Chain A
Amino acid sequence: MKYHKDIFEIIFFARGGQGAKTAAEIIAQAATGEGKFVQAFPNFGPERSGAPTKTYLRLSDSPIRTHEPVIDPDVVVVLDDTLIDSQDVTFNLDKKEALVINTTMSEHEIREKIVNISKAAYEGQIYAVDASGISLEVVGQPRPNTVILGKFIQVTEAVKLESVILEFRKIFEAKIGKENCEKNVLAIEKAYDTI
C-alpha cells in the first residue's frame, strides 16, 4: 500500500513509558535521511507512566508548516491493545487507511472492540502483529515500540527498512551495546517479514 497525499499523517497510540515518542522519532530521523520533510510531536497532555498517550508524525516531500495536531490520520499505530477498549483509535480512519496494532487478538475481535467504542463499524485495513511476542522471543524483553516499526514499514512503505535500521543503530548501539542492538534489529526485521 502506498500513499500519495501531500502529507502522510500517523498517530501512535500507546501508554506513557512505552516509547511511542522514540518510535516516531526514529521514523522521523530515517525519513529525514531519505531527504523527506518530517514533524514529530507528542500530544502534550499530562504524561504519566501507564496513562494513554498520543504521538503525531507527519512525513512529506515538501516543507511542513502546519502545527495542528493530526486529526485525520492515514495510519494509526497502536502499541498496547488494551487501549482499544477505551480510546477511539480508528477515528477518521477511512476505508483505504490502516490500523497497525500490537496484539495476539484476531481481526474479528479487534473489529468488535472498535465498534464498542466508536459506535460504528471500522471499514479500514487491520494489520495485526505480535510485536511484544517477537520482542520477547528475539530480544528477551517485551519492548514492542521499535519492533512494530517493522510492520509499519511493510504496510506503508513510508520509509525504507534500511533507513530505520541505520537510525536505530545510530541511536541505540552506544546505549545498549552491539549485541543487544543487533537483536533488536533482528526483531524489527522479523516484524517486517510477518504476513
Chain B
Amino acid sequence: MSQISKPKLAVWKFASCDGCQLSLLDCEDDLLAVSQEIEIAHFPEASRAVMKGPYDLSLVEGSITTPHDAERIHKIRRSSKYLITIGACATAGGIQALRNFKDVNEFISIVYATPSFIDTLQKSTPISDHIKVDFELRGCPIDKGQLIEVICAFLKGRKPNTPAHSTCIECKRRGTVCVMVAQGKMCMGPVTHAGCGALCPSYNRGCYGCFGPQETTNTGSLSAQLKKMGANDDEIVRTFRGFNAYAEPFRRESELHDKKNN
C-alpha cells in the first residue's frame, strides 16, 4: 500500500576531511530513529544505494577547489529544495583556504612531482560564493546535536535554534574561568561563533576559532589585546589564519598584520 513518502536527504562531499558528514554516523543513539523519519537517498559514505533527486534537503560538506566541483555544486543546487552547508570548509573554505594567501602553484610543486596531473583552482572558496545557501552550520567539526536540530528544523519548516553569540558567552554560561584573563592564554573566544559549548577553555586552552567569526565581531580589539599580551604580528596572523582563515572578518584582520601587505 502507498505510504506518505518520507522526505529525502542527500549528503554531498567537496574538499574536506569527511568529519562533518561522519557526525551524522556518530549520532549513534539517533541514527536508526532518524532513518525512520527520513529517506537517506544519497549518502555515498554510508550506502552504495543511490536514489535519484530531487531531494528535500541537501547537506553539503567541503569547499570548492577544482573546476569540476565548481560545476557540480550548481547541479546539486538545482536538485535540492533546501541546501545547508555543514562545517568550516563549506562555510568558509576550510584550512585548505590557506592557499588563498599564496600562489597555489608553489604548493602543488611542494606536494606533487608532476604538477600537470593536478587540476585545481587558485582559491578554496565556500559554497555560498557559488550558489544560494539556505543555512550555514558552523564548526570544524560541526556539533552533532546542532546537526540534528538543523535537519529537524528544516524538515518541519521552522528556524533552527543555533545561537549566534560568541564563544565567550558560552564560557560564562558554563562557569569556566576566563583563560585569557586568569591564565594569560591567547583565546579567540571573544570573536568566535558559539556552537562548541566553549570546549577549549574547559580543557585549559584558548579557543582557536574553529566555529569561525560571530556575526558582528570586533577583531581589531582582540588583536590589540593579543599585542598587549606580547604577541607579535606573525602570531596574530597565524591566530586568525586557522580553519576559518578565509571568512571575511578573520581574513581582513590577518591581512592587516601580514608584513607582505604593509
Q: Do A and B come from one complex?
A: no
Hey, which bits of chain B sit against chain A, CB under 8 A? Answer: none
Hey, which bits of chain A sit against chain B, CB under 8 A? Answer: none
